[in-house]
Structure 1
Amino acid sequence: MRAVAAAIRAAVARRRVQSLVVGVVLLLSTGTAVLGVGLLVVSQDPFDNAFARLSGAHATATFDADKVGADALAGTATRSGVTAAAGPFDTVLASLQRPNEPEGRSGPPVVIAGRAEQNGPVDKLSLDSGHWLTGPGQIVLARGSGPISSSVTLDLPGSPSLRVVGVAHSITGTASAWVWPTQDDVLHAQGAMTGRQMLYRFASAADQTAVQKSVDSTVAGLPAGALRDAQSYLTSKNAADTGVGPMVPFVVAFAVLGLVMSVLIVANVVSGAVVAGYRIIGVLKSLGFTPRQVVAVYAGQVLAPALVGCLLGVPLGNALAMPLLGEAQEAYGAEASAILPPWVNVTVVLVLLALVGAAAVAPAWRAGGLAAVQAISVGRAPRNGRGYHARRALARTRLPRPVSFGLGTPFARPARSVATLLAVLVGAITVVFAVGLTSSLNRVVDAFGRSAQVPIAVGMSGVVEFGGPMKSPASGESPRADPATVRAAIEAQPGTAKVMPVRTVQVPLAGVEEPIAVIGYGADASWLGFELVSGRWYAGADEVVAGSHLLRVTGRSVGDTLTVTSGVGQRRLRVVGQVFARENGGFALYGADSVLTGLTTETRPDSFEVGLKPGTDATSYANKLAEALEGQSVHVEVRDEEFSSLAIMRALVATLTLVLAVVAALGVFNTAVLNTRERTHEIGVLKSVGMTPRQVRTMVIASVAGIGLVAGLIAVPLGYALHGVVLPVMGDAAQTDLPRSVLDVYHPGPLAVLALAGVLLAVVGAMVPAGWAARSGVATALRSE
């Protein structure tokens, strides 16, 4: 046993390059595997896990403060079926204005709650940055509530200004901002729309019906009309599941690609290291080592650096993975950080070490069965005759001799070359797939945002009720904004190209829990940038196009007739097309202004969409328009928003592609090192007859460039096919059909360039070994065999 241990230590020390390669490959493979498995883990029921961990509210109930007191609401916490409750919290509806924003650039009204505790019995808030409230004069903003500034001013009497001290997240979005409970100038502002909020967890809350029954039994006995609204956690769950759903398919694809590549490269590196040591195996046998001891020596000499690589790869892999996992968790609606369960790290290390052992034992066992003289005579040289005909055929071509020599090298070690080809193939497939996926995500952003066609949106303050007119959130009276004045100001601005008046009515629809939006456009809306998925654009007074998400959820299709009812009347609308759109979370119908006839008594538009002339800066335009509309109750928005889940997807794609490309290049590096070591004597002979260092470098690079070219040519159709499979699955997960512009992102020219991805990976991986071979001395090379 001591002889075996001594042989292992000597082999590791003597084969420093081999040990380094094995260690680095395992380090990166461990990191890749940890990242892949970690992403898969956090993709499993992310909302449910976060909801349970944060004691999310099954229902967020808002009450009229004038009709029910705080003591009565606190008493509902002990009602039957309530397992936990928090509140009552005073609330107010107000708009936030940041410093340096022109008058009128404040956003729409949001809910602000008075709350002293960050982590109560219900709805524990995760803090993204800063700190929690410590007293009056401070405000904590919700994640995604807009740009972070040092302070905000509220559009309430006295225009109170508060210092922003942190950014937090509620798993069910119970509020858009939080202030100290004694902040009376905000929470009890004269004339503002104030209320009280209770957060409940119920014993029965499996579906919407159960939640509603639990709410009804909890508020029973309170004064009539005291309950204004009760928001179910299922709304947030559905939104989170819809947001995370598209992420899971491509995360799985990348994770599988990464794991497959890690397995291929580890097996290739380890088996190649054993094959390269056949001569030493013969020496060991001549010294009396048994076949089992030979296997133990060679398994040990690769397991030792592999173990070091794995142990270093675990913390490195976690360090690389945690930001991505944190972003993924944030996209899933959980905390902006993520901790991998320990079993992930342990499992990855054990599996990779088992793979290393298996990859080392098989060739070592074969070599251990050879006679000592045969093993020594075989040495590093490939089996006689392998690749002879291919190399002779290449030599007869007009290719430069270093290139023909290099292209023939893979035929001498076909098994190693195939393993390298597969590793480069996976890397090239990743690149082709990632380019297409990134292009598709960019087009999704363009289609959802429509910022190229409609860079400016102007909204009149107020809330849209069921078939009713706009109401001011603060006073309940008609808003001050005059649509005619607002439109005149827009049209008077230099840079205005087109103006579209928009009216919106919220109505219930069978099969949809939340109200849908019926949006009417006051003129030809074909320029607004909507992407048709199927059907045609509306033309008649009773025709609408529907959001694809709405049709998917309700099971309707183009050609169906929908009956929508408001407090004013009823309309039958025929769906003539479906669009890829995000208004009202995808639950929207779009038509001419006449589709709202009979659904509302309000005839004034509630917003305007603005197209700009070429060369007009949207931000500058918005600031000037806000100044022109000072005194009008409007908010001017630059439609350049970034969709957080899509931004995170693109970041994940870029990072995962880079990691897998590096691992693929490392696999090529290993192959080039092994080939160069085996051909050291041959390289010495070639140098002695006049081959220059530059030609040697060219020969080594050519030995893997051919593999890279073949891998790239195969990767293009496979990456194309993978994109064609994953994108529709992502659409299905988001419950929406995708337009052709999102699916058809590959074109012949770029595909031809992508075919060279394999060559690029191979050349990058071979550069260092090629430099070593070019710098080696002739005498040293000739003495090596």
Structure 2
Amino acid sequence: MRTAFLRLARADLLARPGQTVLTAVAIFAAATALVVTLALRAGLDDPFAHAQAETRGAHMAVHGDLSDADVAALAALPGVVAADARAHDHEQATLNDTTVEVGLEALPAADAAVDRPHVTEGRRPQAPGELLVERSFARETGLRVGDRFALGTVVGLAVTTEQATYPRWDPGLIWTPDVTAPGRRVGVRLEDPEATDAFAAAARRALPGTRLEFTDWHGVRDTITDQTRTNAIVIGINTLLALFAVGFTVATVISGRVLAQRREIGMLKAVGFTPRGVVALLVGEYLAIGLVAALLGLVAGAAIAPLLLEPMANVLATPTPSALAPAPLALALAAILAAVALFTAVPALRAGRVNTVDALALGRSGATGRASRAAGVAAALRLPTVARLGVKDAFTSRSRATLTIAALTFMVVTLVAALSVEATFHRVIDDPALRAKPWDVRVEAPSALAAVADDPDVAAATTITGLQVTGPRGEIEARALGDGFGAFPYAVPDGRMFAKPGEAIAGRGLYDELGLKVGDELTVQAAGGPVTLTLVGRHVEPDDDGRVLIFPAASLPEPLEPSAVIATFTPQADQAAAADRLERATGAAAELPEEEVRGERADVRPILLGSSLLLVAIGLVNLLATLLLVTRERARDFAIFKAVGLTPRGVLGVVNAGGAALGAIAIVVGIPLGLLIFRGVMIGMNPSEGTDVIGTPGPFALALTIPFVLAVTALASSLPGRKAARTPAATVLRAE
């Protein structure tokens, strides 16, 4: 019996090699997309935790002029499981005609127990004068492997969790073997990573009179997470859509082909096969195809994935994940084979229940010759006869047509989501207040207010001070703006911008955490005393999940040293040239929020493009499979049409019309669905600012999806259409 099964399966696969190859190609495409998608999603699963694990990141770092005895005392504190001390110094370096502050650090051993930088490009330094540069600092300053400057030669780039990405956190980090300085940095890993406050208190008690500065891993994580949240959401949306598209592709291709084999199923039943035997035969047949195609897809996916994983790692500030991780590959193979088995067994069971005589006579159940509703709509619209026939044929199998429309709809949804991402980036670029940066330039020189204000292209300038204040439930991140703050209005969807000392605005997260509303008063401890602030508005705040408080610096009981100078430019100013001029005048970095957003958009574009192309390829294969099956099922009808005078061009038009009908429905459903899905996911994954920053593509941009999808359907229709047009009518009718 087993031999008979094998012979029948082999004969069926070889009888229609084109269909067999197409099925294999569809499974291959699905497996390739699944491997890439799972690899991307693995990278999205807590990227900071992945980076910290790769680098053995410290839970707390202690900076100060520390002796060996001091280091030993810190390492012996309760709860410390590992410690590593290294020399640390600050230097000034000139890069691209700009002076930047550099944190020079002694290169740790490759197997250091704490804070070992993970090399992403090049190699580790091996001799004095060789430099390993932190990746975000290198990208910001244009440093590449092989570059030489005053401090040495760059031989490698690396990621670390010692601090967040540059320039949000500075100075820029560089590791080199030849650092000698009194300053030391001691990184410690704790048995309980949450016990950082207890460790800091114990360190102060152990080293009384020693000035210590601490870097808590929570602060590093929160900053990196805040910076990468939007990009992570964007990547997450695309990968989720890809997973759905893969499922629909396998379902459509496999179940569609099984349904097209009802005549063969009737013959098997006529010679004695039970419904269970029919299912076993077909499942085994398609699993054989699926196994070979899926294995090839795993290889292709593992080769393609690094092209998207590297830019994703840059976006998320993590080491580049491996595309050869056994777990995602095994999961992809298991998922593909399970989908093949499921979507073979279900339609095979349905087909097995069809009356044998009907299956032999018609090749499908329930064939009544009655026009579908879609054909009725085509007739009501007075479409040409060729178009009506194409619409009718496309819906010969409603279940297959529905699955194909769903797969094409997901392709449209992905395109709309990509357009929505572009619209969101454009909106944020045009209005930096939507990133809580209502200025054109930020100069990291707190004492340079006068120099910045005197620049001819500067319209207004003031200071900004970052500080921690103590609220009812602990520390709150805060910012204080200097005099002239009225020229720097934040985006305030609810309430208004503060207008005088004693008023404040806050992000959504702070309102939610403290149970406050606009108009309430909030008392905090800041600058040595209590400060009572009236909350007059809610501003858009991407940092710290919106748990940020902003108020005039004059509200504080004592003045604080500003963190930076912020300024707006005149409308006619060349912002890039003005920023360069300010850097030369102040000797400090000048950050343009617009350039930061443009950089993020450039980073995320390859990922969006790659995942979108995968979905387009899946949609193309899916539609091609559907139309080939329709052509096969309707071969007799096409032969009759040609016998009564339908030209080969007319047959091609029928097939093209069927594909266009499926694509048109996908466009009508996919465009609004894409807008809703993008908005819903953005709000759900980023409640603190999602509703306030979402951009909507314009009508012209959305209209571009129409010719694109129709072009895909025309491309997919060309092969089955030409095949149907070239098949001689006499050959088909003689077989009947």
CA distance in 2, matches of 1:200, 1:368: 66
| Superimposed CA distance per residue, residues 12-64 of structure 1 (whole angstroms, 9 cap, x where no aligned partner) | 1221121112111111222333344444444444433443453221110001x
| Superimposed CA distance per residue, residues 167-213 of structure 1 (whole angstroms, 9 cap, x where no aligned partner) | 111123297323435344xx4xxxxxx6211111122332xxx2122
| Superimposed CA distance per residue, residues 572-591 of structure 1 (whole angstroms, 9 cap, x where no aligned partner) | 33232232246899665545
Residue 192 (structure 2) pairs with residue 204 (structure 1): yes
Q: Which amino acid aligns with 2:716?
A: G
Q: Which of 618, 627, 644 is matched with 2:575 structurally?
A: 618
Q: Which of 498, 505, 516 is matched with 2:478 structurally?
A: 516
Paired residue for 1:97? 94
CA distance in 1, matches of 2:517, 2:60: 33
The alpha-carbon deviation at position 665 of structure 1 amounts to 2.6
Cα separation, partners in 2 of 1:608 and 1:346, compared to 1, 3 Å: closer
Paired residue for 1:54? 55
Structure-to-structure mapping, 1:298-377, within 5 angstroms = 298-329=282-313, 331-339=315-323, 341-368=325-352, 374-377=358-361
8 Å contact kept, 2:444–2:565 = yes
Q: Secondary structure, in 3 states, of the residue corresponding to 2:136?
A: coil
The alpha-carbon deviation at position 600 of structure 1 amounts to 1.0
8 Å contact kept, 2:23–2:254 = yes
CA distance in 2, matches of 1:37, 1:147: 33
8 Å contact kept, 2:458–2:567 = no
Structure-to-structure mapping, 1:123-138, within 5 angstroms = 123-138=115-130
8 Å contact kept, 2:442–2:590 = yes
8 Å contact kept, 2:103–2:172 = yes
Structure-to-structure mapping, 1:250-329, within 5 angstroms = 253-284=237-268, 292-329=276-313
Paired residue for 2:487? 525
Paired residue for 2:559? 600
Structure-to-structure mapping, 1:675-714, within 5 angstroms = 675-714=630-669
8 Å contact kept, 1:519–1:591 = yes
Cα separation, partners in 2 of 1:81 and 1:676, compared to 1, 3 Å: same
Q: Secondary structure, in 3 states, of the residue corresponding to 1:96?
A: strand
Residue 201 (structure 2) pairs with residue 216 (structure 1): yes
8 Å contact kept, 1:507–1:565 = no
Structure with the higher fraction of residues in helix conformation = 2
| Superimposed CA distance per residue, residues 407-450 of structure 1 (whole angstroms, 9 cap, x where no aligned partner) | 22234322322222232233333333343244234434554488
CA distance in 2, matches of 1:243, 1:555: 26
| Superimposed CA distance per residue, residues 106-148 of structure 1 (whole angstroms, 9 cap, x where no aligned partner) | 23x3432223424411112111212212222222221211223
Q: Which amino acid aligns with 1:106?
A: T
Paired residue for 1:534? 494
Paired residue for 1:559? 519
CA distance in 1, matches of 2:175, 2:247: 53
Q: Which amino acid aligns with 1:148?
A: G
Q: Which amino acid aligns with 1:484?
A: A
8 Å contact kept, 1:666–1:765 = yes
Q: Which of 465, 471, 491 is matched with 1:504 structurally?
A: 465
8 Å contact kept, 2:311–2:603 = yes
Q: Which of 666, 674, 678 is matched with 1:719 structurally?
A: 674
Q: Which of 543, 546, 553 is matched with 2:503 structurally?
A: 543
Cα separation, partners in 2 of 1:120 and 1:219, compared to 1, 3 Å: farther
Paired residue for 1:660? 615
Q: Secondary structure, in 3 states, of the residue corresponding to 2:404?
A: helix
Q: Which amino acid aligns with 1:706?
A: A
Cα separation, partners in 2 of 1:784 and 1:653, compared to 1, 3 Å: farther
Residues 364-373 or 425-434, more deviating? 364-373
CA distance in 2, matches of 1:512, 1:448: 29
Paired residue for 2:176? 180
TM-score of the superposed pair, with normalisation by structure 1: 0.81
Paired residues in the alignment total: 722
Residues 444-453 or 499-508, more deviating? 444-453
Paired residue for 1:121? 113
Paired residue for 2:168? none
Cα separation, partners in 2 of 1:205 and 1:368, compared to 1, 3 Å: closer
The alpha-carbon deviation at position 784 of structure 1 amounts to 5.3
Paired residue for 1:487? 453
Q: Secondary structure, in 3 states, of the residue corresponding to 2:214?
A: strand
CA distance in 2, matches of 1:378, 1:341: 49
Cα separation, partners in 2 of 1:715 and 1:567, compared to 1, 3 Å: closer
The alpha-carbon deviation at position 744 of structure 1 amounts to 5.5
Q: Which amino acid aligns with 2:109?
A: E
Q: Secondary structure, in 3 states, of the residue corresponding to 1:337?
A: coil
8 Å contact kept, 2:527–2:560 = no
The alpha-carbon deviation at position 624 of structure 1 amounts to 4.5
Considering only aligned residues, what root-mean-square deviation do their CA atoms show, in Å? Answer: 3.7
The gaps in structure 1 that reach 5 residues or longer are: 154-159, 188-193, 463-469, 471-480
8 Å contact kept, 2:421–2:695 = no
8 Å contact kept, 1:424–1:762 = no
> Among the aligned pairs, what percent are the same residue?
25
Residues 755-764 or 260-269, more deviating? 755-764
Paired residue for 1:737? 689
8 Å contact kept, 2:432–2:439 = no
CA distance in 2, matches of 1:265, 1:339: 23
Q: Which of 423, 432, 437 is matched with 1:439 structurally?
A: 423
Residue 71 (structure 2) pairs with residue 73 (structure 1): yes
Q: Which amino acid aligns with 2:132?
A: V
Paired residue for 1:169? 159
Q: Which amino acid aligns with 1:91?
A: H
8 Å contact kept, 2:479–2:551 = no
CA distance in 2, matches of 1:370, 1:504: 76
Cα separation, partners in 2 of 1:751 and 1:655, compared to 1, 3 Å: same
CA distance in 2, matches of 1:455, 1:651: 27
Residues 403-412 or 321-330, more deviating? 321-330
Q: Secondary structure, in 3 states, of the residue corresponding to 2:212?
A: strand
The alpha-carbon deviation at position 633 of structure 1 amounts to 4.0
8 Å contact kept, 1:322–1:339 = yes
8 Å contact kept, 1:270–1:360 = yes
Cα separation, partners in 2 of 1:91 and 1:554, compared to 1, 3 Å: farther
| Superimposed CA distance per residue, residues 76-107 of structure 1 (whole angstroms, 9 cap, x where no aligned partner) | 323443211101x2222234321xx33xx223
8 Å contact kept, 1:512–1:554 = no
The alpha-carbon deviation at position 361 of structure 1 amounts to 3.2
The gaps in structure 2 that reach 5 residues or longer are: 165-170
Cα separation, partners in 2 of 1:396 and 1:179, compared to 1, 3 Å: closer
CA distance in 2, matches of 1:42, 1:557: 37
| Superimposed CA distance per residue, residues 246-276 of structure 1 (whole angstroms, 9 cap, x where no aligned partner) | 5666555544433333333322222222232
